[in-house]
Structure 1
Amino acid sequence: MFDAKKLTEEQVDSIKSWAAEGAQLADIQKRMEDEMEIRLTYMDTRFLVLDLGIELRNLAEEAKQKEAEEAAADPAQAGNADDLTEDDLEILPPTPQGSGAVRVTVDEIARPGVMASGRVTFADGNGGMWYVDEGGRLGIDPDVDGYRPTEADVLAFQRELQATMENR
């Protein structure tokens, strides 16, 4: 077993900064070998991290948690993009195509089981597949599970989709 006391303060600081940047055990193990020429087993790396009192960050989980907190704090995010209907499109005034931060594309051949489909990218960079099912209902299947676009993005999406479909 590796003794943490064999490390210099600089080495300990490096390991702590790697962990703060989101490095996981395998990353720390590899960087210790590459940068410090210290070869450890995965288990020894785990014990070393525990001995040094380092908490590993799960950046993906932190991002999901932050997104959930922002959505809870922003009531505009409470709207459900899956509940859009074709009738919703008809009440919106058209805007010139490409006029907003929301981008819409239409598939040349609709996906199986739907009348029309394509992709949407919202202002914040998130996106997903949109579709109009055989019942005429508009829906969005986001790339990130649980993602809800803002109300402004939903309205911009509807306008862009309407303009795109009129220009076809």
Structure 2
Amino acid sequence: MFSASKLTEDQKAALHQWAAAGASIADLQKRLKDDFGIGITYMDARFLVLDLGIELVEAPKDEKKAEPEETLAKPLPTGAVTVEIDNIALPGALVSGKVTFSDGETGIWMLDQYGRPGLDPDTPGYRPVQEDIVEFQKQLAELVRKQGL
């Protein structure tokens, strides 16, 4: 386990500065490796953030960045939403499967024993558009009904 006491004051200050500029834990981990040659695990980076009292903030969004994000929020559909069910459910799941959204993004879904849904997109941070969510829910309900669950 990596300890914050192994860092110099300059390295600690750099971590605070990077975090204030909007760096995520993964970004801090990468910058430590790239800038200082300190390779640590993601979990160690999380503990380091806690130990040093680093506050993670979202990077400020300027107007130029807002326009492309709005475009990305409503991608043009390239196909239909497809939902598949696994023959063997994931551990801890009552039922699970795969989904492909209209923009081509994919992910793994599951329902636990209490009927609570979970979605793990293949692209970190991906959020499907509302229309895709509605279609996914419809197809999922139909699949679950056919399975008799």
**TM-score band w.r.t. shorter chain:** 0.3 to 0.5
Higher relative contact order (CA 8 A, sep 6+): 1
- What TM-score does the superposition give when structure 2 sets the normalisation length? 0.46
Larger radius of gyration: 1
TM-score, normalised to structure 1, is: 0.41
